[in-house]
A = this chain, B = another copy of it.
Amino acid sequence: MTIQLYELVGSDSARPFSPHCWKVVMALAHKGLAWESRYVPFTEIPKIEDGSGIVPVIRDGDATVSDSFAIALHLERTRPDGPSLFGGPGGEAMARFVEAWCQTQIHAIIGKAAIMDVHDALAPDDQAFFRNSREARFGMPLEETRERGLSELGKLNARLEPVRAMLRHQPFIGGASPLFSDYILFGAFQWARIIMREPLLGHDDPVLDWFETCLDLHGGIGRAVPAAA
């Protein structure tokens, strides 16, 4: 039975933007697996079958797995013969460090700077839910969170120095070819690419070259959704 992937969408289900869902799309493609996407707006997430209240979720036969990293581990363990997502136990452990770095250093900025873009991409019911939940989380109006995020965008350049230094040794975080650790960072930039109008990366930034290469992976599945106009 084909894997079912529950992906977050706004009012346009042709433009899924969740960074965590994109990590899973890339992981499924990396493993050469077939899947069907089920598009879910924010207010429908609690009704997804496992009731975990988060996306992404996959249903894989009898198993239901939520959380992008948990899904990648599930795919690695249940399909050990496909191309590895981690390159061994050390890569599995260090992908946690890459995830922790990406969440605290990169998502922390994009999540604020893009907050009105996400809001504006949602259907009305979801907009109300999103505004209430995010205003409670950040303790301020969405518009003010956005201003703070935009004022922090300038920090992003310095925070990407580790990626540039790494790219002087190898083309991917995973080495000579991409691993799940690359998809972790890819998810952040794909999110920004689909939802934000502000470009995050300079045209001569090696991180942009890496991202463009990732957009071409697996038949260009990432590029199939056009960038925000």
Residues of A within 8 A of B (CB): 84, 86-101, 103-105, 161-166, 169-170, 172-176, 179, 181
Contacts known (A93-B174, A93-B179, A94-B181); A162 close to B104, Cβ less than 8 A: yes
Contact with A97, one of B84, B93, B94, B176 (Cβ below 8 angstroms): B94
Q: In the complex, what residues of B have CB within 8 A of residue A101's CB? A: 101, 162
Contact B97 A86, beta carbon cutoff 8 Å:
no
**Number of identical protomers:** 2
Q: In the complex, what residues of B have CB within 8 A of residue A96's CB? A: 166, 169-170, 175
Q: In the complex, what residues of B have CB within 8 A of residue A175's CB? A: 89-90, 92-93, 96
Q: In the complex, what residues of B have CB within 8 A of residue A95's CB? A: 90, 94
Q: In the complex, what residues of B have CB within 8 A of residue A100's CB? A: 161-166, 169
Contact B105 A161, beta carbon cutoff 8 Å:
yes
Instruction: Give the 9 A-B CB pairs with smallest separation, nearest first.
Output: A90-B91, A88-B88, A87-B90, A93-B175, A94-B94, A100-B165, A101-B162, A104-B161, A100-B166
What is the chain B residue whose CB lies nearest that of A69? Answer: B169
Q: In the complex, what residues of B have CB within 8 A of residue A170's CB? A: 93, 96
What is the chain B residue whose CB lies nearest that of A166? Answer: B100
Complex alpha-carbon distance, A120 and B87, angstroms: 44
Q: In the complex, what residues of B have CB within 8 A of residue A98's CB? A: 94, 97
Contacts known (A94-B173, A96-B169, A169-B96); A89 close to B87, Cβ less than 8 A: yes
19 other contacts beyond A97-B162, A100-B166, A101-B162, with CB at 8 A cut-off? A87-B88, A87-B92, A89-B175, A90-B91, A90-B175, A91-B91, A93-B172, A93-B175, A93-B179, A94-B94, A94-B95, A96-B166, A97-B173, A100-B161, A100-B165, A100-B169, A104-B161, A104-B162, A105-B162
- Give the distance to chain B from A192, nearest Cβ to Cβ, in Å: 19
- Give the distance to chain B from A130, nearest Cβ to Cβ, in Å: 24
Question: Could you jot down 11 A-B contacts, CB within 8 Å?
Answer: A90-B181, A91-B91, A92-B175, A93-B172, A94-B94, A94-B181, A97-B162, A97-B181, A100-B161, A100-B166, A104-B161
